[in-house]
Structure 1
Amino acid sequence: MKRGLKLTVNESNHVKSFRLNPANWLISKKLLDEWTIVHRLTGKPRIIPAP
């Protein structure tokens, strides 16, 4: 699996809108319609819609 990248300010605000703590998530894949984020500790992926 690809390594995750640290969130930018705009990305962290978008992740906050899904009631997730942005400090615990990394961006793994950004597509036009969805983002794949990965939890820092557990490595569990989650797919959220792109803004």
Structure 2
Amino acid sequence: MKQGKNPNRRQKESIKQSGLNPDNWLVSKANDDQLLLIHRETGRTRVVYS
């Protein structure tokens, strides 16, 4: 699996809107309409649509 990167400002806003804490998530893949997130501690993945 790819290593995640820290989310930028726009991505953090999308993560907050979905009810998640952006400090706990890394961005693995970013498209125009979705973000693939990886949890920093557990490694759980989640897709967020923007």
Give the structure-2-normalised TM-score.
Answer: 0.89
Q: Determine the structure 1 residue equivalent to 2:32.
A: 32
CA RMSD for the aligned pairs? 1.0
Percent identity, aligned pairs only, is: 36
Q: Determine the structure 2 residue equivalent to 1:9.
A: 9
Number of aligned positions between the proteins: 50
Letter in 2 for 1:43: G
Stretch of structure 1 that moved more, 25-34 or 10-19: 25-34
Give the structure-1-normalised TM-score.
Answer: 0.87
Deviations 1:16-50 (A, max 9, x none): 0011000000000112332110000000000111x
Answering whether residue 48 of structure 2 is matched by residue 48 of structure 1, we say yes
